[in-house]
Chains A and B, each alone.
Chain A
């Protein structure tokens, strides 16, 4: 929604979106789990042209000590765009206000699904590095981080996923790319815990009627079946050779 209305390109042509997708169609998604050697858990996600690396360290001793909680684990999250991740600019390294806010809301998702009381006094670190961004990076990054968290063997009640739903004129469409994101009338990233469809992250700006708002959430939940399936498949593939019988 950063683009000015004056040079807004035509985002819908003959009922199709700029990249030829239908309104309910997501981009191609590929997830690979356990891609980094040093991290306790990791995942690489290619979501459309987004390329994102997520890693989890911990639970480990919380530092500094005064920030630790003797009753449960604390979660630290860093979402960051690489300086070469965008087509046009050279991004400055270091957190800006946008990255700081995204890091905070993603952290809160993991505070919801991780069983924090299992790891008193510890910290769990979540790193999301956007190597290439093309719209919807926080949703894709969160989806990858959830796989990294599970692959680290951390106790969780669910594996959350995220996707964004937006509005172009009177149409609701799922999973905006960068151009759509820049010129859309509304954008709403949503994260959901699939076990009971609880909403664990929601941000929105632009304009939606109540009916559109509710319909957007339902579209996210529908798309979620595919995302959840891809997350689980990535995790199972790490142990693919098995289906096991003990010795």
Chain B
């Protein structure tokens, strides 16, 4: 954290003690959410998600592969994330940072546990399946990468087309088949600054926060969750945030409608 960030954090805390956020939002309000589907034609699926100033591009590639040993009758998918150095002055070139790996794995778990992708529909023949690679490209960081990335990944998956497979060969040009989707998962990420809990933290709030929790759900079930940073949450706080997550679910899901 730079000297600038630490001064800013002090001010954020001072305001929050009075129940005010720097940008005037309510404690449990999202910033503007905008999702643009199908931005990369070469990818089998793609979407750009803007959450306030945070911008994430997700692309999917559907590639011929082998099934996992323990799951011979279904395809596979994996999520990776890159905090691109062009997204923030403090992001550096190099192998994926622990933060990028955590981000990718949290997004992955929600989608996997929610059984969002029908993996059995990706089985081709013995020893051959489609593997789906979801890559998250962070283009601009302005806080709350988790929810922005989860939205971008889900939207990209929903737009994904599967190439044709004929006589043991792939026909990549033919992408008429849509990827079969079983479920839509969304996430809400909260932070704790001092004793205040808030949703969708911007960059300055992220820097000032002591604890973070992401909750991934579908309409009625919690599918994955991850607590981060050194601070803690009380049982009561968790209870409240789970309620808020389901409350916010409708708003997030509506942004994913019409993705195809």
A-contacting 9-mer, from B12-20, B81-89, B181-189, B240-248: B81-89
Within 8 A of A (CB), among B152-196: 172
Task: Give complex CA distance A108, B85 in Å.
Answer: 20
Q: With a CB–CB cut-off of 8 A, which chain A residues contact B142?
A: 37-38
Instruction: Kindly identify which residue among B82, B89, B172 contacts A38, using a CB–CB cutoff of 8 Å.
Output: B89
Are A84 and B41 touching (Cβ within 8 A)?
Answer: no
Q: Which of B42, B82, B93 gathers most chain A CB within 10 Å?
A: B42
Chain B min CB distance to A47 (Å): 14
Residues of B close to A131: CB separation below 8 A: 40, 57, 59, 137
Identify which of A39, A53, A88, A132 contacts B41 (C-beta below 8 A). A132
How far is the CB of A85 from the nearest CB of chain B, in Å?
6
Q: How far is the CA of A55 from the CA of B55 in the complex (A)?
A: 14
Closest residue of chain B to A60 (Cβ to Cβ) is B89
Residues of B within 8 A of A76 (CB): 93
A-B contact count (CB 8 A): 85
**Closest beta carbon of chain A to B134's beta carbon, Å:** 9
A82 at the interface (CB under 8 A from B): yes
A119 within 8 A of B: no
Q: Which A residues are CB-close (under 8 A) to B89?
A: 38, 57, 60
The prevalent SS among residues of A at the interface is: loop
What 1/0 mask marks residues of chain B from 108 to 140 whose CB sits below 8 Å from any chain A CB?
A: 000000000000000000000000010101011
B63 adjacent to A89 (CB under 8 Å) = yes
Which residues from B are CB-within-8-Å of A90?
61, 63, 133
In the bound complex, residues from chain B placing their C-beta under 8 Å from that of A38 are 53, 87-89, 140-142
Residue interface bits A115-132, CB-to-B below 8 A is 1, else 0: 000000000010101011
Instruction: Enumerate chain B residues within 8 angstroms of A53, measured Cβ to Cβ.
Output: 86, 139
The reply to whether B40 and A127 contact each other, CB–CB distance below 8 Å, is: no
Residues of chain A within 8 A of B41, CB atoms compared = 49, 132
Q: Which residues of B contact A54 (CB under 8 A)?
A: 86
Number of B residues near A (Cβ < 8 Å) is: 32
Contact call A86/B135, Cβ cutoff below 8 A: no
In the complex, whether A94 has a CB less than 8 A from a CB of chain B is yes
Provide the residues of chain B in CB contact with A166, threshold 8 Å. none
Q: Which residue of B lies closest to A85 (CB)?
A: B42
Which residues in B have their C-beta under 8 angstroms from that of A18?
A: none
Best-buried of B55, B57, B80, B139 by chain A (most CB within 10 Å): B139
* Min CB gap A84→B, angstroms: 3
CB of A127 within 8 A of CB of B85, answer yes
Report chain A residues within 8 Å CB of B61. 83-84, 89-90
Q: In the complex, given contacts A39-B86, A82-B135, A129-B86, what are 19 additional A-B residue pairs having Cβ atoms less than 8 angstroms apart? A: A36-B140, A37-B53, A38-B87, A42-B86, A49-B41, A51-B40, A53-B86, A60-B89, A82-B40, A82-B59, A83-B133, A87-B172, A89-B63, A90-B133, A93-B80, A125-B85, A127-B84, A132-B41, A132-B43
* 9 shortest interchain CB distances as A-B pairs: A84-B59, A55-B86, A127-B86, A90-B61, A84-B43, A83-B135, A90-B133, A87-B42, A132-B42
Residue ranges of B at the interface with A (Cβ–Cβ < 8 Å) = 39-43, 46, 53, 55, 57, 59-61, 63, 80, 82, 84-89, 93, 95-96, 133, 135, 137, 139-142, 172
Can you give 27 contacting A-B residue pairs, CB < 8 Å? A36-B86, A38-B88, A38-B141, A49-B41, A54-B86, A57-B85, A57-B89, A60-B89, A82-B40, A83-B59, A83-B61, A83-B133, A84-B40, A84-B42, A84-B43, A84-B46, A84-B61, A85-B42, A85-B43, A90-B133, A93-B96, A93-B135, A94-B95, A129-B84, A129-B86, A131-B40, A132-B41
